[in-house]
Chains A and B, each alone.
Chain A
Amino acid sequence: RKEVEQDPGPFNVPEGATVAFNCTYSNSASQSFFWYRQDCRKEPKLLMSVYSSGNEDGRFTAQLNRASQYISLLIRDSKLSDSATYLCVVNMRDDMRFGAGTRLTVKP
Chain B
Amino acid sequence: GAGVSQSPRYKVTKRGQDVALRCDPISGHVSLYWYRQALGQGPEFLTYFNYEAQQDKSGLPNDRFSAERPEGSISTLTIQRTEQRDSAMYRCASSLARQGQMSTGELFFGEGSRLTVL
Contact = CB atoms under 8 A, between A and B. Distances in A.
A91 to B, nearest CB: 6
Interface in B70-118: 91, 93, 97, 99-100, 102-107, 109-112
Contacts of A94: 31, 48, 50, 55, 97, 99, 102-103
Interface of A, secondary structure class, is strand
Nearest to A6: B42
Nearest to B107: A96
Given A32-B103, A43-B109, A96 B41 contact: no
B39 to A, nearest CB: 10
Contacts of A71: none
B102 A93 contact: yes
Nearest to B91: A43
A98 B102 contact: no
A91 B107 CA distance: 11
Contacts of B93: 96
Contacts of B50: 94
B42 A95 contact: no
B33 interface: yes
A44 B111 CA distance: 9
Contact of A96 (B33, B99, B111): B33
B18 interface: no
A99 B42 contact: yes
Interface of A: 4, 6, 31-34, 36, 43-46, 49, 85, 87, 89, 91, 93-101
Interface of B: 31, 33, 35, 41-45, 48, 50, 55-56, 91, 93, 97, 99-100, 102-107, 109-112
